[in-house]
Amino acid sequence: MGNRFTFILAKLRLKHLLLWAAWCCSLGFIPLTSAQTKGATSEQVFEILASEIALQRGEAGLAYQTYLSLARQTADPALAQRAMEIAIAANAADLALIAAQTWDELSKPGQSKPKEVLVTLLMLNQRWSDAVAPAIALLKGQSLKEREQILQQWQSLLSRAQDEGAALNAYYRIVAALVPPPTNPQILYTYALAAEKSGQFEVMEKTLRTIIERNPNDIQALNALGYSLADRNIRLKNAYELILKAHNLDPKDPFILDSLGWVNFRLGNKELALKQLQDAFRIKPPIGIFFSR
């Protein structure tokens, strides 16, 4: 009964707004874009006007529902986009995602913007696994340069992930599906970390070695590969050489010094390892990987 009463009230408000919209339209008070009204019937135009008036009155929910309903009735992606914009402005992430999905579904094949926005909203809503398929579909239609620009934008969202493992696994699956693979070293570095998080150690190592082949002095890649080998207690001599080179390139980096201490610990050089780990801890106290083991 309560839901029906609310629905009736909403319909009454809409009828009132339609009358108000008709009057405003006749006086030219509310200009609308051609994208909003193209192909719309006069009744639909008035509903759009009513939605804009509702929005100005602070009734964002009514405006959103009307735009989304009209988008589905008319198969007009521009109306779904407008519904999404209203939801975003109202900080309603779930509703924005629903509208973005409708916008993408109604858009013509080859239009990249709706899918790019959809994937971004899925990631912001922590739906990392759901973002994989549309992300791959989007990137496969882009040039290498465009792919890397989009991937870098998505990379910035990884730091907002509530579940780092789920986010990195999604990123790994997205990049792994791309042929040819990216060439940007920062994208490759993140991909390598994502591969390691996903248990794909061979992919991680191959990717980091690719970075090092292209730039033998890439400190991040040298340290990451060396630390990963030391952490898994394999090829310790190679791990030591990689980390030592990174350390020589940047002797004051506490993370590299920490890695050097860890590989020395693995090699049995415990006194030297303890000194290096303590030095790293003094430079950057939160580090202390050794002390948390």
Domains and CATH numbers, the chain: 1-107 (no CATH), 108-183 (no CATH), 216-293 (1.25.40.10)
Local confidence band at 268 (pLDDT 50, 70, 90 cut-offs)? very high
When pLDDT is averaged across residues 207-221 and rounded to a whole number, the result is: 98
Give the closest residue to 68 by CA, choosing from 81, 59, 55, 54: 81
Q: At what angle are helices 42-56 and 60-74 packed, to 10 degrees?
A: 160
pLDDT at 46: 76
pLDDT band at 195 (very low <50, low <70, confident <90, very high): very high
For the chain, the average pLDDT equals 85
pLDDT of residue 286: 57
Q: How far is CA 226 from CA 72, 91, 130, 205, 260, in A?
A: 54, 44, 33, 10, 9
Which of 57-71, 81-95, 124-138 has the least mean pLDDT?
A: 57-71
Relative orientation angle of helices 164-176 and 144-158, to the nearest 10 degrees? 170
Mean pLDDT for the stretch of residues 160-181:
96
pTM given for the model = 0.79
Q: Which residues contact 97 (CB under 8 A, 6 or more apart)?
A: 118, 121, 122, 125, 127
Q: What would you report as the CA-atom Rg of the chain, rounded to the nearest whole angstrom?
A: 27
Pairwise CA distance, residues 221 & 188, whole Å: 10
Asked if pLDDT for residue 292 goes beyond 70, the answer is no
Residue 11 Cα to chain centre, angstroms? 38
How does DSSP assign 37-68, residue by residue?
HTT--HHHHHHHHHHHHHHHTT-HHHHHHHHH
Q: Is the pLDDT of residue 8 over 50?
A: no
